[in-house]
Structure 1
């Protein structure tokens, strides 16, 4: 809506224009700036996504890129004019391409754009996400890695737990080994270094991690087996005059691991499944509170329902 007014002086007219513009931007007039979804996403990236850990922000940005690229009509629409029908059309289109779990995961990333746009930026009166139905959360994965599979992948990469990795492929295999003995995430493993790992105290100081906002810096206890592995990486880093244990990025690790897994014809084993494998093995040795301290979980239910994957047959064999 166009607004006009006359004032006795130029200074008063400019002050009125500034006040009107501020009122519009704050939503006080019941009007909202004509900012598109693409503009909202870019601002959200700067203010929120870029402050996350490198691996998380990379994954989020890849989803945002795909969303804006694959749905240009939605991306170019004014944010406060986007309706529940628009989002329902996006949901239905995505369900023809990916699983309900993937759609739910994407929606959980996109919804906060509206939350901050409504509450802080005053770019829209409300979020249309409240009016659409999303797919139900799928059952947790039950896949774990078997040592037969792990040894096959190590042989294919030419890697040995007694010999430091000399190629990027071998570094990816070593990251897999460390994951199995520490139950850590990929990004946490690749950030290990001589300055953050204390092999004498068997502790890894981890200032940046997924639940940092809730629990602050983590101090991850290391098993004796993990320490034996890490001594090999520590010695290599010292010889080569670097602090970091690994020289590959998380993105490179992902590609290299997938190639290694597919080359050995191992089906369905994701790198993150190794974290669940390690926690399942550790659950036989420590109590649940200790396990949560190792994994960094603040929600015991998530630890039990998602990462504890011992089979009923294995449990029955111990009874």
Structure 2
């Protein structure tokens, strides 16, 4: 039988002592809540369903995120980007709460707050970290009593797929602006390779010269974003870009940037200088896919672009009306 002790004017402490189980103590604002909690715990003990929440009660979200960053996130290719998201999470008031006390309602409130500042896609990526953290805590850290709060709420709908492609004259203006930037010639090379090969920014920045086979017109990516390796065929334009580049001491092909965030910032500067609106570096991958779709089948396009499913072809292929009419004859 649980013991309920009044502590102060507005606190009631419930204590459960039962042979074979660790002592359980929790404080509530009302006696009714204390009795309700005690009955629920004792019922779980009677039926053999009880799992101690002691470790989950001691571990805050901030502490769990630190461990997650060290043990899990650091092993991902996108660890730098994810590290920035983790820092943002650790500054949020929810980070001070124990893992066991974060509820779906707390996550729903977080979503409402963030909607004022960021897109639904950013929020979904933020939630993915917390959801995976709880999964890891349950499966690998032994915190079996946890419920994943992210699974109890409705996530924001994915944003509309982007269809932005290069318009008439934009490629030329963009490359001219790149040639006069502080990061020339590497920024122009990165932009050119994105258009000519369809590689992701992270893939372009990871290339080293030993991976480049100019004679075979190919680049071997040992590990892409989805974890697979693939060979990227090179157009003659891509070969020319690579032949004109200086060789860096560290063997990196694009030597001016540490990560895709730095490349994105430099791209944003030259985009504005070229008087181009609404274009992102990743849109160049859409441009490449749309150009390749004119000569490759869907299966070939998936191989070239590094997609695991043909569904991605529908997301990236954005034909213009004149291109469709040309095919119709």
Per the alignment, residue 117 of structure 1 pairs with 137
1:200 aligns with 2:220: no
Q: Kindly provide the CA deviation profile for residues 255-286 of structure 1, in whole angstroms up to 9, marking residues without a partner as x.
A: 21111112222111100000110011011011
Give me the whole-angstrom Cα distance separating, in 1, the residues matched to 2:97 and 2:279: 40
Aligned twin of 2:243 = 231
Aligned to 1:76: 96
Distance 1:207 1:37 in 2: 35
CA apart distance, 1:287: 1.1
Contact 1:180/1:278 (8 A) holds in 2: yes
The one of 223, 239, 243 aligned to 2:251: 243
- Once the two structures are superposed, the pairs formed by residues 175-194 of structure 1 within 5 Å of their partners are 175-194=190-209
> 1:84–1:132: 8 Å Cα contact kept in structure 2?
yes
Native 8 Å contact 2:111 2:123 kept in 1:
yes
Q: Distance between the aligned counterparts of 1:137 and 1:222, measured in 2?
A: 33
Which of the residues 231, 234, 242 maps onto 1:219? 231
1:146 — aligned with what? Answer: 167
Following TM superposition, by how much is the alpha carbon of 1:310 offset from its aligned partner in structure 2, in angstroms? 1.3
1:308 aligned to 317, 320, 325, which one? Answer: 317
Q: Are 1:46 and 2:70 an aligned pair?
A: yes
Task: Describe the superposition over 1:137-156 as per-residue Cα deviations: whole angstroms up to 9, x where unpaired.
Answer: 22211101235112112222
> 1:28–1:48: structure 2 CA closer, same or farther, 3 Å change rule?
farther
What are structure 1's unaligned runs of at least 5 residues? 6-15, 18-26, 160-165
**1:131 and 2:139 aligned:** no
> Which has the higher mean CA deviation after the structures are superposed, 106-115 or 286-295?
106-115
Larger displacement relative to structure 2 (180-189 or 106-115) = 106-115
1:87-116 per-position Cα deviation (integer Å, ceiling 9, x unaligned): 111011011222323322322233111111
* CA offsets 1:190-229 (integer angstroms, 9 cap, x no match): 22222111111122111122111xx3x2222222221222
**Aligned-partner SS, 1:195:** helix
Q: Determine if contact 2:178/2:184 at 8 Å carries over to the other structure.
A: yes
CA contact (8 A) 1:38 1:76 kept: yes
Please list every run of 5 or more consecutive structure 2 residues that lacks an aligned counterpart in the other structure.
1-13, 23-48
Tell me the secondary structure at the aligned position of residue 107 of structure 2: helix
Shift of 1:312: 4.1
2:125 aligned with 1:105, yes or no? yes
Matched, 1:252 2:262: yes
SS class of match (2:62): helix
Structure 2 CA distance for partners of 1:3 and 1:197, relative to 1, 3 Å: farther
TM-fit CA distance, 1:296? 0.7
- Aligned position for 1:12: none
SS in structure 2 at match of 1:269: coil
TM-score by length of 2: 0.79
Cα 1:42/1:86, change in 2 over 3 Å: same
Which structure has the highest strand share of the two?
2
Number of residue-to-residue matches in the alignment: 283
| 2:297 aligns with one of 262, 274, 287 | 287
Mark the CA change 1:267 to 1:220 in structure 2 (over 3 Å): closer, same or farther.
same
Distance in 2 (alpha carbons) for counterparts of 1:190 and 1:147:
27
Q: TM-score, normalised by structure 1?
A: 0.81
Q: Which residue of 2 aligns with 1:156?
A: 177
Distance 1:157 1:130 in 2: 45
Query: Quick one: distance in 1 between partners of 2:125 and 2:313?
Result: 19
| Helix, strand or coil at the partner of 1:60 | helix
